Amino acid sequence: MNNVAKLLTALAIMGSLAGCARTAPIANVHSTVSSGHTQSQVKNAILKAGQERKWIMSEAAPGEINARQQSRDHMAEVRINYTATSYSITYANSQNLKASGGKIHKNYNRWIYNLDKDIQLNLSAGSDL
Asked whether 39 and 83 are in contact (CB, 8 A), the reply is yes
| pLDDT cut 70: percent of the chain above it | 82
What pLDDT shows up at residue 10?
61
- Taking 80 as the threshold, does the pLDDT of residue 1 lie above it? no
What pLDDT shows up at residue 6?
66
Mean pLDDT, to the nearest integer, of 90-102? 95
Mean pLDDT, to the nearest integer, of 85-98? 96
Asked whether 82 and 49 are in contact (CB, 8 A), the reply is no
What pLDDT shows up at residue 22?
86
Phi, psi of 83 (to 5 degrees): -135, -175
| pLDDT cut 90: percent of the chain above it | 74
- Condensed to tens digits (0 to 9), the pLDDT of residues 44-84 reads 999 999 999 999 999 999 999 999 999 889 999 999 999 99
- Condensed to tens digits (0 to 9), the pLDDT of residues 56-65 reads 999 999 999 9
Number of helices and strands in the chain (H, E): 3, 7
What pLDDT shows up at residue 19?
47
Asked whether 129 and 41 are in contact (CB, 8 A), the reply is yes
